[in-house]
Chains A and B, each alone.
Chain A
Amino acid sequence: MRRFVAVALLALACGPGLEGEPAAAPVADWSFAAQAESVAFAAADGTPIRFVLAQPLVVDESLYLRAMTILPVKDPALAAILEEGRVQVAVDGRVWQAQAVRLTTAAEIDPLLPELLRVSHVEAVDPHWDPNPTRYPGTQVQQWFFRVETP
């Protein structure tokens, strides 16, 4: 049944890809993305992320992508980003081709957590990435973190 729901959601979610003016200049400071009206992500071929939540995070002038889903779905764009390590990012109508460097360790992800929690309306002290807690085995949603880097 869940797979049926996932497929139905996939069909409903079809829409246009990323649109905007190509931007070639590398970005050293992504702070403007934190104030942007729209930030969207896609695979390098322009296939947008549609079936998982794609959340931008700006921390210390760097741009990060957090992808998350509570559903047992596979997102083709996310799968391509994971495989190719490349991503398109559109910020207020400008589109960059960028590298997507996957982050997996607590040392890499911990610095993002205060911002992630802030935008989630949570005030927390000393957040730490612990994706497989022994007290809560197998209950975590699927999450992926990437640092977005322009060449």
Chain B
Amino acid sequence: MRRLLIAVAALPAVALALWFGGLGPAAVLPGGILWGAVAPIPADWSFTDSIAEVQLEVRRGGILPWSVTTWVMSDGPNLYIGAGECNRQWTHTAKTHPDVRVRIGGRIYPLRMVLEERVEVGAVIALITLHKYLGIAVASARYDGTSSGCVFRLEPRS
């Protein structure tokens, strides 16, 4: 009985250790804090063109790390991430606490997320997403306005 009580009491500690100890996100499952060497912000994000997925860490309530796996789109000096469904925990969190950490190729980039609502940028992102992830090349593209997804621009923290 005593061992059982100890085990039950230890569960939260184990969970916290895993959460803050680098149990990152996997596929559709969220994770905790992202570990890795912090890298300087590059002037050009084109190297991400060959990277399918990145990990994004937001801070729920500005404190609790919450990380997800997502797609990334680069347009030279601009970097974007998308959410197929904008009504997600992490998208809401990013709107209220925009300072995030992004792990790309094992390196951590401290960035700020800004909801991207410019139509012309949306057209560029649609074009990139179609080609990079779905293998569909298009001359031009734009979302028809009924999509439930959204796009965030990632900027250096000021």
Query: A5-B26, A6-B27 in contact; A129/B135 too (CB < 8 A)?
Result: yes
A-B pairs with beta carbons under 8 A, tally:
97
Q: Which B residues are closer than 8 A to A by beta carbons?
A: 26-29, 49-52, 126, 130-147
In the complex, A60 has a CB within 8 A of chain B = no
Interface residues of A (CB under 8 A from B): 1-2, 4-6, 9, 70-72, 113, 116-117, 120-133, 135-141, 143
B49 touches A136 (CB 8 A): yes
Give the most central of B51, B131, B134: most A CB within 10 Å.
B134
Contact A71 B132 (CB under 8 A): no
Least CB distance from B56 to A in Å reads 16
Asked if A125 and B141 sit within 8 Å, CB to CB, the answer is yes
Q: When the two chains form the complex, which single residue of A5, A117, A139 contacts B136, counting CB atoms closer than 8 Å?
A: A117
6 contacts between A and B (CB under 8 A): A71-B28, A117-B136, A121-B143, A125-B140, A127-B130, A129-B137
Which residues of chain A are near B143, meaning CB under 8 Å?
121-123
Assess A124 versus B27: contact at CB under 8 Å? Given A133-B131, A133-B132, A139-B132.
no
- Complex formed: what's the CA distance from A121 to B134 in Å? 14
Tell which of A1, A117, A123, A136 touches B132, judged by Cβ atoms closer than 8 Å. Answer: A136
Known: A122-B143, A133-B135. 6 other contacts (CB 8 A): A5-B28, A117-B136, A123-B142, A125-B139, A125-B141, A143-B135
Contacts A113-B136, A130-B131 hold; do A1 and B51 have CB atoms under 8 A apart? no
Chain B nearest CB, measured from A102 CB (Å) = 16
Given A5-B28, A124-B138, A140-B133 contact (CB < 8 Å)? yes
B residues near A128, Cβ cutoff 8 Å: 136-138
Q: Which of chain A's residues have a CB closer than 8 A to the CB of B146?
A: 121
Check B52–A2 contact: CB distance below 8 A.
Answer: no
Within the complex, what minimum Cβ distance (angstroms) separates B107 from chain A?
18
CA distance A132 to B136 in the complex (A): 10
* In the complex with contacts A5-B26, A135-B49, A140-B134 CB distance below 8 A: yes
Known: A71-B27, A71-B28. A127 touches B137 (CB 8 A): yes
User: Which residue on chain A has the smallest CB distance to residue B146?
Assistant: A121
User: A residues within 8 A CB of B132?
Assistant: 133, 135-136, 139-140
Q: Whole-angstrom distance from the CB of A123 to the nearest CB of chain B?
A: 5
Query: Are A130's CB and B137's CB within 8 A?
Result: yes
Name the residue among A72, A123, A129, A131 with the largest chain B CB count within 10 angstroms. A123
> B141 contacts A123, CB within 8 Å?
yes
**Nearest-neighbor residue (CB-CB) of A135 within chain B:** B49
**Smallest beta-carbon distance A110→chain B, Å:** 9
Q: Are B49 and A5 in contact (CB under 8 A)?
A: no
